[in-house]
């Protein structure tokens, strides 16, 4: 479907339309479940419950690995006995990155012992044990909203940015800007950033494989107490090496992104007037270029590589932040 909104071209294919509906549905469901959680917490009434059964299950898929804490309990509310297996309010089950996190969630409870459960009067059969929200609905809401945003930006604006861009010969408009970066020759910065990226990509998996091998050897050594890890121990040294390599990887990608952005500016200086809007000030053009696989000219290719570098670097920063802080 093609059209215009206030003179701005809009193109929505069937695939985009389906994905847009999926994104809207995911966003709506995440928001709905979060509202349900907060409503249940605000209106909940405490009741005495008996813990019947507890367990921790592990899910090891090709793309995800997590643990789930399950607890079954019975309680009476207004003369009726109910059975529930909700640790938290809401319909989305909480998941944990490690077994210790799942065990910590179940630590306050024991089988065949009493505990305090909470019941929302409107839904007495959906009692829960922990009066707090989970991150599941917010993650679903954020993921769906991000998908909708990206699809919308991709559908709006010029259809072929970064293609067929006229560049004047280098001899006629030799860019003089950005000959050096941070006082270093720009080609040296480019080569160094690429070499550091390649080195970090090799060091990170090798270090983590070494940690896995050492942990496996430790577990098979008939030791029941938890393994104490220090920075001078082999496992600690490998973990420190992996962490340092990840930091170097992120910094190197940012460095390459900065170099690539200056290269984009040099190419843009060769575009004759009137120049098209910069993709880095028009998100619709940037997203369209990032999602284009073929047909990009040197200018469009440079924009794509620059945007991709910063997206990857920011994603890795987010992953590192979640591991260290959240």
Q: Dig out the tokens for 168 from the structure.
A: 């004047």
- Alpha-carbon distance of 65 to 324, in angstroms, equals 18
Claim to verify: residue 182 and residue 314 sit in the same structural domain: yes
Same domain for 210 and 69 = no
Predicted local distance difference test score (pLDDT) of residue 227:
54
Same domain assignment for residues 98 and 193: no
CB 120 within 8 A of CB 126: yes
Domain count, the chain: 2
pLDDT tens digits for range 97-148: 888 888 999 999 999 999 999 999 989 999 999 998 888 888 899 999 988 9
Q: What is the pLDDT of residues 58-84, one digit of tens each?
A: 887 666 678 889 899 999 999 999 999
Question: Which residues, other chains included, contact 269 with Cβ-Cβ below 8 Å and sequence gap of 6+?
Answer: 173, 175, 177
pTM above 0.75, yes or no: no
Q: Domain residues for 249? A: 163-324
Mean predicted lDDT score pLDDT of the chain: 85
Give the pair of three-digit tokens for residue 10: 């809009």
Cα separation of 288 and 155, whole Å?
8
Check whether residue 211 and residue 268 sit in a common domain: yes
How does residue 219 score in pLDDT terms, banded at 50, 70 and 90?
A: low
Degrees to nearest 5, angle at CA 43 with 70 and 41: 40
Give the pLDDT score at 222: 46
Altogether, the residues listed in the chain come to a count of 326
Answer yes or no: do 85 and 181 share one domain: no
Last residue of a domain, one of 106, 130, 154: 130
319 pLDDT tier (thresholds 50, 70, 90): confident
**Dist. CA 92–CA 209, nearest whole Å:** 33
Residue 171 pLDDT class (50, 70, 90 cuts): low
Is 315 found in the same domain as 203?
yes
SS3 99: helix
């Amino acid at each position: 479907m093609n059209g215009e909104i206030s003179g701005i071209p809009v193109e929505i294919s069937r695939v985009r339309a389906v994905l847009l509906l999926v994104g809207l549905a995911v966003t709506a469901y995440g928001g709905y479940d979060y509202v349900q959680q907060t409503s249940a917490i605000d209106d909940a009434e405490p009741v005495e419950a008996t813990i019947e059964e507890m367990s921790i299950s592990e899910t090891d898929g090709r793309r995800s690995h997590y643990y789930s804490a399950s607890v079954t309990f019975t309680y009476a509310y207004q003369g009726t006995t109910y059975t529930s297996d909700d640790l938290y309010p809401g319909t989305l089950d909480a998941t944990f990155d490690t077994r210790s996190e799942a065990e910590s969630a179940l630590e306050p409870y024991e089988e065949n012992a009493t505990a305090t459960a909470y019941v929302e009067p409107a839904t007495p059969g959906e009692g829960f044990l922990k009066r707090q929200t989970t991150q599941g609905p917010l993650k679903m809401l954020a993921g769906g909203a991000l998908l909708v945003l990206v699809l919308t930006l991709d559908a709006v604006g010029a259809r072929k940015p970064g293609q067929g861009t006229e560049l004047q010969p280098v001899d006629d408009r030799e860019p003089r800007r950005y000959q050096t970066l941070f006082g270093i020759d720009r080609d040296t910065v480019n080569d160094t950033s690429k070499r550091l990226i390649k080195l970090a990509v090799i060091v990170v998996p090798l270090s983590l494989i070494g940690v896995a091998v050492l942990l496996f050897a430790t577990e098979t050594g008939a030791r029941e107490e938890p393994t104490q890890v220090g920075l001078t121990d082999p496992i600690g040294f490998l973990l420190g090496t992996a962490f340092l390599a990840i930091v170097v990887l992120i910094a190197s990608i940012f460095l390459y992104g900065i170099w690539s952005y200056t290269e984009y500016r040099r190419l843009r200086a060769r575009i004759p007037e009137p120049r098209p809007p910069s993709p880095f000030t028009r998100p619709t053009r940037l997203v369209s270029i990032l999602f284009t696989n073929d047909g990009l000219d040197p200018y469009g290719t440079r924009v794509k590589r620059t945007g991709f570098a910063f997206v990857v670097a920011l994603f890795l920063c987010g992953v590192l932040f979640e591991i260290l802080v959240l």
